[in-house]
């Protein structure tokens, strides 16, 4: 085929092969041109046979483009001309469909197909027909480019045109304009290979009828969509019989009004417009064989013979379910957007602040009613005016605009707003920039709040704060006086108690051992003495508690033993509430390195809560187990009402009883907070799981430690072992500076059991300094509260002298408040011991100090050599 004349000749030759056989519907033929003895394939499968083909190729409702095997366009129907703006003459034998398609989309399609089919595909026409060339059904979306450069989305169906031997002689691309989102699948026919592609497609229904509406053709797409076989409907029913009857009646009414003529409900209502030559595409509900329904988009064309007499109708339909669903989703989205806009507007208007938006240059774009009231202007008059003009200092307001543009957000920027009535209001401005979706600056959002009352209150608060600061100073002075009193009282109590406990420890460990009666008396003295010391320590703790500092006494503790003690302590409370407390003792022995008292405090608090907030006759289960290699978990499970998610979110908040205020159970709402802080201060974590109507499980985890090798020896054995000291080869000297004779006697008696340690004493600091220079002792014990100058001053003098600077000085004082201990250590004491002495601890400290002195002496000798 080399030109238009040849093409027209071939077209005429093909047309002559077609005829319409009555009673058997429309016979369609494929034209294959024999141009040589080697059966060279025709470059195109062209045109239509009979009225059905003319209806297709003369339709303006879809584009029909047929190419030769190389992709050069050979057929370009009126639908393609209408959609793309080219005439057939401009494109036939000149270009391929790729040249009227978006090149970027073709490149993207080539890449996608290369990945999908695992073979490289070149961008171009090959990417449009590759699947079809492999016999794969292919319908896709593509952007077509019109002659004038404008674009539109299209749904394209591609079919390979083959001869009788199955050799590809061209391609057929059938497209519909998808601009309005109607994704009806193409229902197109073609002569020869075109006919096969369409009638074998399951993507759309193609129903052809005779002039009376009786179905003559019912393709596989129609069979798939409607559930009937062709044999069940052909020559038996009309398309009206598979359509919603109410919609057919309604369509007849509407067309009667529109066309001003009476139209009978039935098949006539479906094809009336097409019969009059009017393009007709409408929506209709089809009814399947099983009675189910689906929305369809139907295109109707009248089939005419060569004399233009109607010999039948072609109804091409696509399932419109997906589009309907999308439309419904879009409607729902639109409704939500309207609701959101309404909500947002109400939110803006109900805000107590005067809200304003401006463009980046500061020109107002929107305001709320509060801004209208603040300025005395209506919204319409405010929009389009400079924001800065509504303040007494426009330049300062403009500076604020520049600042928010630079910093993105500003807060508490005070300005004085001016109402057109003359009223001035001090406002605090919070402002932030806001942006388009592409991150381009859209404008600035301002919130202005009247702070006149706030400023007045701030002034009052400032005055009150001054009063409070003065009161605080007075309180701190009183607190300091109280602390000094506690320190002094502690010192005065510890001094005689030190002698009592010290000599009692010596008596208990003396050789020969005391008699049984004496032993019992000494034990009672020590028991009473240590108890009194514990009371003194609690008095000192009072000062720490008031300052928010809680001391921890860490030791190795058996969790099982502590839990058992807590269960016994809780039994009276459990009996009152008729609660069964169950302790599931673990088979493993879990030991913790914690403060025993604080651990008991946490467990008792959790156990008490589980009992208090339980059901009458309920139960509480205590358990402990290893949650990991180095962590132990304790849990207490109750059968109470349980906690909601909202309540769980408010847990561990001070004074929040989670709605139990009306309950007859007493509580402050701080127990769990204290427990949480105690657990965390011991290096653990605490948590809860709860189910409403079932109960709660409170738990905490702490790091486990190894079980102690043996029980601690009693104090007599410990003191005896400490006194069993291996004496050094040379005599060492200890100087004790102390003004209390009882304390001097106690230490002298302790040191007397060390034969290679000489004991010297001084009654005040001056004498002690002189003796230190004269005798150069290996270690000095120094009291703090000495007559004349204090032990702290004496230490400073000793450190400043080269002769005594290296001698370890150990503080031995009844000043046991932590701040006193810290003060002493910061001053340079080698160690700080508090009275009363624990002899074993005292002797260990002396040994460490002597060892330090020996090392210092060796270093000094080496340096001298």
Query: If you write DSSP's letter for every residue of 494-525 in order, what string do you get?
Result: HHHHHHHHHHHHHHHT-SSPPPHHHHHHHHHH
CA distances from 510 to 3, 289, 365 (A): 134, 112, 96
User: Residue 202 contacts by C-beta under 8 Å, 6 or more apart in sequence?
Assistant: 220, 221, 224
Location of structure tokens 């129903």:
207
pLDDT for residue 207: 92
- Specify the CATH number of the domain 351-450: 3.30.450.20
User: Of residues 481 and 306, which shows the higher confidence score?
Assistant: 306
pLDDT for residue 683: 86
Residue % of the chain over a pLDDT of 90: 41
Q: Are the beta carbons of 520 and 527 closer than 8 angstroms?
A: no
pLDDT at 712 over 70: no
Q: Does domain 554-705 have CATH number 3.30.565.10?
A: yes
Rounded to an integer, the average pLDDT of 319-341 is 84
Q: In this predicted model, what pLDDT tens digit does every residue of 556-593 receive, in sequence order?
A: 888 888 888 888 888 888 898 899 999 888 777 788 88
Fold of the CATH domain 466-544: Helix Hairpins (1.10.287)
- What is the token pair recorded at 614? 């339980």
Q: CA-to-CA distance for 697 and 207, rounded, in angstroms?
A: 70
Taking CB atoms within 8 Å and a gap of at least 24, the contacts of 399-408 are: 400/429, 400/431, 401/358, 401/362, 401/444, 404/431, 404/432, 404/433, 404/444, 405/360, 405/433, 405/444, 408/432, 408/433
Q: What is the mean pLDDT of the chain?
A: 80
CA distances from 406 to 410, 431, 435, 495 (A): 10, 12, 14, 68
CA distances from 308 to 55, 207, 302, 317, 852 (A): 11, 20, 10, 24, 125
Backbone φ and ψ for 575, nearest 5 degrees, come out as -65, -40
Q: CA-to-CA distance for 218 and 198, rounded, in angstroms?
A: 12
pLDDT at 17 over 90: no
The model's confidence at residue 515, banded by pLDDT at 50, 70 and 90, is confident
- What residue segments make up the domains of the chain, in order of their start? 4-201, 206-313, 351-450, 466-544, 554-705, 715-864
pLDDT at 502 over 80: no
List the beta bridge partners of residue 781: 736, 810
pLDDT for residue 43: 33
| Most distant pair of Cα atoms in the chain: their distance | 145
> Following DSSP, what letter does each residue of 758-810 receive, concatenated?
EEEEESSHHHHHHHHHHH--SEEEE-SS-SSS-HHHHHHHHHHSTTTTTS-EE
Residue % of the chain over a pLDDT of 70: 79
Q: CA-to-CA distance for 861 and 142, rounded, in angstroms?
A: 97
Q: Are the beta carbons of 370 and 425 closer than 8 angstroms?
A: no
- Specify the CATH number of the domain 206-313: 3.30.450.20
Highest averaged pLDDT of the listed ranges 2-11, 171-180, 710-719: 171-180
For residue 454, the tally of other CB atoms under 10 A from its CB is: 13
Residue of 208, 317, 213, 319 lying closest to 272 (CA atoms): 213
Cis-peptide, bond into residue 802, ω within 30° of zero: no
The model's confidence at residue 485, banded by pLDDT at 50, 70 and 90, is low
User: Of residues 497 and 779, which shows the higher confidence score?
Assistant: 779
Q: CA-to-CA distance for 171 and 41, rounded, in angstroms?
A: 13
pLDDT for residue 30: 34
Q: In this predicted model, what pLDDT tens digit does every residue of 697-710 receive, in sequence order?
A: 999 999 888 776 54
Rounded to an integer, the average pLDDT of 245-257 is 95
Residue of 144, 145, 143, 108 lying closest to 124 (CA atoms): 108
List the beta bridge partners of residue 437: none
Where are the strands (E) in 598-694, listed by range?
Answer: 619-626, 631-638, 685-691
CA distances from 405 to 358, 364, 382, 563, 566 (A): 12, 15, 21, 62, 63
Q: CA-to-CA distance for 221 and 217, rounded, in angstroms?
A: 11
Q: Are the beta carbons of 376 and 425 closer than 8 angstroms?
A: no
Q: Which of 524-533, 734-743, 751-760 is least confident?
A: 524-533
The model's confidence at residue 25, banded by pLDDT at 50, 70 and 90, is very low
The model's confidence at residue 483, banded by pLDDT at 50, 70 and 90, is low
pLDDT for residue 16: 29
Rounded to an integer, the average pLDDT of 281-303 is 93
Q: CA-to-CA distance for 725 and 734, rounded, in angstroms?
A: 15
CA distances from 859 to 232, 405, 542 (A): 116, 69, 46
pLDDT for residue 169: 92
pLDDT for residue 670: 62
Instruction: Specify the 3-state DSSP secondary structure of 3.
Output: coil
pLDDT for residue 68: 94
Location of structure tokens 């109960």:
695
pLDDT for residue 815: 82
Q: In this predicted model, what pLDDT tens digit does every residue of 34-93 receive, in sequence order?
A: 333 332 333 333 333 344 455 556 655 678 999 999 999 999 998 899 999 999 999 999
CA distances from 287 to 271, 472, 711 (A): 18, 88, 90
User: Residue 595 contacts by C-beta under 8 Å, 6 or more apart in sequence?
Assistant: 552, 553, 554, 555, 682
The model's confidence at residue 862, banded by pLDDT at 50, 70 and 90, is low
pLDDT for residue 725: 45
The model's confidence at residue 355, banded by pLDDT at 50, 70 and 90, is very high
Location of structure tokens 């426009």:
394
Backbone φ and ψ for 783, nearest 5 degrees, come out as -75, 160
E strand or H helix at 430 = strand 424-435
Local structure of residue 141 (DSSP, 8 states)? E
E strand or H helix at 127 = helix 125-133
Backbone φ and ψ for 468, nearest 5 degrees, come out as -65, -40
pLDDT for residue 46: 33
pLDDT for residue 856: 72
List the beta bridge partners of residue 430: 447
CA 478 to chain centre: 50
**Domain 4-201: which CATH number of 3.60.140.10, 3.10.310.10, 3.30.450.20, 3.40.50.12780:** 3.30.450.20
Q: In this predicted model, what pLDDT tens digit does every residue of 640-699 receive, in sequence order?
A: 888 888 888 877 776 565 656 555 554 445 667 778 878 888 889 999 999 998 899 999
Q: In this predicted model, what pLDDT tens digit does every residue of 134-168 receive, in sequence order?
A: 988 788 999 999 999 999 999 898 989 888 888 99
Which CATH architecture fits 715-864?
A: 3-Layer(aba) Sandwich (3.40)
Rounded to an integer, the average pLDDT of 238-255 is 95
Q: CA-to-CA distance for 765 and 809, rounded, in angstroms?
A: 13
Region for 277 from its dihedrals, namely left if φ exceeds 0, alpha if ψ lies in -120 to 50, beta otherwise: left
Q: Which of 297-306, 598-607, 643-652 is least confident?
A: 643-652
For residue 791, the tally of other CB atoms under 10 A from its CB is: 26
Q: Which of 26-40, 88-102, 145-159, 730-744 is least confident?
A: 26-40
Q: In this predicted model, what pLDDT tens digit does every residue of 823-838 receive, in sequence order?
A: 999 999 999 998 888 8
Residue of 73, 22, 48 lying closest to 192 (CA atoms): 48
User: Residue 466 contacts by C-beta under 8 Å, 6 or more apart in sequence?
Assistant: none
pLDDT for residue 828: 93
Q: Is the pTM of this model over 0.95?
A: no
List the beta bridge partners of residue 555: 594
Q: String of b and e for 22-40 (b: at least 16 CB within 10 Å)?
A: eeebbebbbbbbeeeeeee
pLDDT for residue 130: 93
Let me know if 193 is exposed, middle or buried by CB neighbors in 10 A (0-12, 13-18, 19+).
Answer: buried
pLDDT for residue 201: 62
Q: Do domains 4-201 and 351-450 have the same CATH topology?
A: yes
* Pair type for strands 424-435 and 631-638: unpaired
User: Residue 154 contacts by C-beta under 8 Å, 6 or more apart in sequence?
Assistant: 63, 83, 141, 142, 143, 144, 175, 176, 177, 178
Q: In this predicted model, what pLDDT tens digit does every residue of 364-377 receive, in sequence order?
A: 999 999 899 899 99
């Amino acid at each position: 085929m080399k030109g238009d004349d040849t093409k027209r000749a071939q077209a005429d030759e093909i047309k002559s092969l077609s005829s319409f056989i009555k009673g058997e519907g429309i016979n369609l033929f494929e034209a294959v041109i024999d141009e040589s003895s080697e059966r060279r394939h025709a470059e195109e499968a062209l045109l239509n046979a009979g009225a059905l083909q003319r209806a297709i190729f003369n339709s303006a409702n879809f584009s029909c483009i047929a190419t030769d095997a190389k992709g050069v366009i050979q057929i370009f129907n009126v639908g393609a001309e209408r959609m793309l703006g080219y005439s057939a003459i401009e494109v036939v034998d000149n270009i391929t469909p790729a040249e009227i398609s978006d090149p970027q989309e073709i490149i993207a399609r080539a890449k996608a197909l290369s990945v999908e089919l695992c073979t490289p595909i070149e961008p171009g026409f090959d990417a449009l027909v590759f699947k079809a060339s492999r016999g794969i059904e292919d319908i896709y979306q593509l952007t077509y480019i019109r002659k004038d450069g404008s674009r539109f989305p299209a749904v394209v169906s591609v079919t390979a045109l083959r001869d009788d031997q199955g050799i590809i002689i061209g391609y057929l691309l059938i497209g519909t304009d998808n601009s309005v989102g109607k994704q009806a699948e193409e229902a197109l026919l073609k002569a020869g290979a075109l006919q096969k592609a369409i009638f074998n497609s399951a993507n759309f229904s193609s129903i052809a009828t005779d002039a009376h509406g009786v179905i003559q053709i019912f393709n596989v797409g129609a069979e798939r969509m409607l559930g009937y076989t062709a044999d069940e409907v052909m020559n038996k029913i009309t398309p009206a019989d598979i359509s919603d009857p109410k919609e057919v009646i309604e369509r007849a009414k509407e067309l009667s009004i529109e066309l001003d003529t009476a139209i009978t409900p039935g098949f006539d209502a479906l094809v009336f417009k097409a019969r009059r030559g009017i393009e007709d595409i409408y929506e209709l509900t089809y009814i399947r064989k099983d009675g189910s329904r689906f929305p369809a988009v139907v295109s109707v064309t009248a089939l005419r013979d060569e004399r233009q007499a109607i010999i039948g109708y072609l109804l091409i339909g696509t399932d419109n379910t997906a589009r309907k669903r999308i439309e419904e989703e879009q409607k729902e989205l639109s409704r939500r957007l309207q609701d959101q806009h309404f909500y947002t507007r109400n939110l803006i208007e109900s805000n107590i602040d005067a809200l304003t938006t401006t463009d980046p240059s500061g020109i107002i774009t929107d305001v709320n009613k509060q801004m209208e009231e603040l300025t005395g202007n209506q919204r319409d008059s405010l929009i389009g005016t400079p924001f800065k003009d509504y303040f007494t200092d426009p330049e300062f307001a403009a500076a604020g605009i520049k600042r928010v543009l630079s910093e993105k957000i500003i807060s508490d920027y005070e300005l004085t707003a001016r109402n057109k009535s003359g009223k001035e209001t001090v406002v605090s401005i919070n402002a932030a920039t806001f942006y388009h979706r592409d991150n381009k600056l859209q404008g600035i959002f301002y919130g202005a709040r009247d702070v006149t009352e706030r400023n007045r209150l701030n002034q009052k608060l400032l005055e009150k704060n001054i009063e409070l600061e003065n009161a605080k100073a007075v309180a701190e002075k009183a607190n300091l006086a109280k602390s000094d009193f506690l320190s002094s009282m502690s010192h005065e109590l510890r001094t005689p108690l030190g002698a009592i406990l010290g000599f009692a420890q010596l008596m208990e460990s003396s050789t020969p051992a005391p008699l049984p009666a004496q032993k019992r008396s000494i034990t009672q003295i020590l028991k009473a003495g240590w108890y009194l010391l514990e009371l003194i320590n609690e008095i000192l703790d009072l000062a720490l508690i008031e300052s928010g500092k809680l001391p921890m006494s860490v030791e190795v503790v058996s969790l099982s033993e502590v839990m058992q003690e807590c269960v016994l302590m809780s039994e009276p409370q459990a009996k009152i509430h008729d609660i069964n407390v169950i302790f599931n003792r673990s088979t493993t022995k879990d030991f913790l390195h914690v403060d025993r008292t604080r651990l008991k405090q946490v467990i008792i608090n959790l156990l008490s809560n589980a009992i208090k907030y339980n059901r009458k006759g309920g139960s509480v289960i205590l358990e402990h187990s290893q949650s990991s290699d180095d962590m132990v978990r304790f849990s207490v499970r109750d059968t109470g009402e349980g906690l909601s998610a909202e309540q769980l979110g408010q847990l561990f908040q001070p004074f929040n009883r989670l709605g139990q205020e009306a309950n007859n159970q007493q509580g402050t709402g701080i127990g769990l907070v204290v427990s949480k802080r105690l657990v965390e201060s011991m290096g653990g974590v605490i948590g809860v799981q709860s189910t409403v109507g079932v109960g709660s499980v409170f738990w905490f985890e702490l790091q486990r430690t190894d079980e102690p090798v043996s029980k601690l020896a009693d104090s007599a054995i410990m003191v005896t072992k400490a006194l069993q000291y291996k004496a050094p080869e040379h005599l060492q000297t200890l100087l004790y500076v102390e003004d209390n004779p009882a304390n001097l006697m106690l230490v002298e008696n302790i040191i007397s059991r060390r034969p290679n340690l000489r004991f010297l004493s001084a009654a005040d600091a001056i004498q002690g300094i002189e003796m230190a220079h004269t005798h150069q002792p290996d270690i000095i014990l120094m009291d703090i509260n000495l007559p004349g100058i204090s032990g702290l001053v004496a230490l400073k003098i000793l450190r400043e002298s080269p002769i005594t600077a290296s001698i370890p000085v150990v503080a031995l004082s009844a000043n046991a408040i932590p701040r006193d201990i810290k003060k002493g250590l910061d001053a340079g004491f080698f160690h700080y011991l508090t009275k009363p002495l624990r002899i074993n601890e005292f002797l260990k400290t002396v040994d460490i100090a002597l060892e330090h002195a020996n090392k210092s002496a060796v270093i000094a000798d080496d340096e001298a050599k």
